[in-house]
Amino acid sequence: MRTAIAWEASPQHHKILVEDEPLQTMDRYRQDRSDKTEAGGILLGYRKGQHLHIVQVTVPQLTDRRRRFRFDRSTHHQQIALEQWHVSEKTMDYLGEWHAHPEINPSPSGVDINEWVKITNRLTKPMAFMILGLTGTIWLGLSVNNALIKCSPTTTEGT
């Protein structure tokens, strides 16, 4: 069972805390078999100054397009985020996106980077982007001022 992981984006020293529940939820969608398609969703949580606290993720929806090497998120994820924003009295925020890759050591594809650039061009706040590898390895990047910074874990993850 995974426990929370803290990450840091240097040199800006932004910190990202991902709680255990979202990590465990994402783990259910690892592409650890050849018949599993890419899965993904959005990251929800709180902004605390320049830091992000991820407490929830959306899971694949029936309206998503899922293939072995592609994931297209449907607008239903946005509806879920909006509902959470209202339920939390407008404190829970859209913090970024996550998806799975069929790689041991995941890294962003050109398609990933192009999609993230579109998001960061619309939003001025730091945004997190996570890719979950087939063994549970995580790549985490943070966009700050239109630059994508690869983050490093500052805590040991539990498995």
Q: For residues 23 and 74, what is the distance between their CA atoms, to the nearest angstrom?
A: 21
70: in domain: yes
158: in domain: no
Number of domains in the chain: 1
61: in domain: yes
Q: Which domain holds residue 90?
A: 5-153
35: in domain: yes
CATH of the domain at 81: 3.40.140.10
List, for residues 44-97, the tens digit of each pLDDT value: 999 999 899 999 999 997 887 878 777 778 787 788 888 988 898 888 999 999
What integer pLDDT is reported at residue 68 of this predicted model? 75
159: in domain: no
148: in domain: yes
Q: Does the annotation count 83 as an active-site position?
A: no
> Is the pTM above the cut of 0.95?
no
pLDDT band at 159 (very low <50, low <70, confident <90, very high): very low
Catalytic residue among 8, 38, 89, 103: 38
Q: Classify the phi-psi angles of 108: left when phi > 0, otherwise alpha if psi is within -120 to 50, otherwise beta.
A: beta
Non-local CB neighbours of 46 within 8 Å, separated by 6+ positions: 52, 53, 55, 91, 92, 93
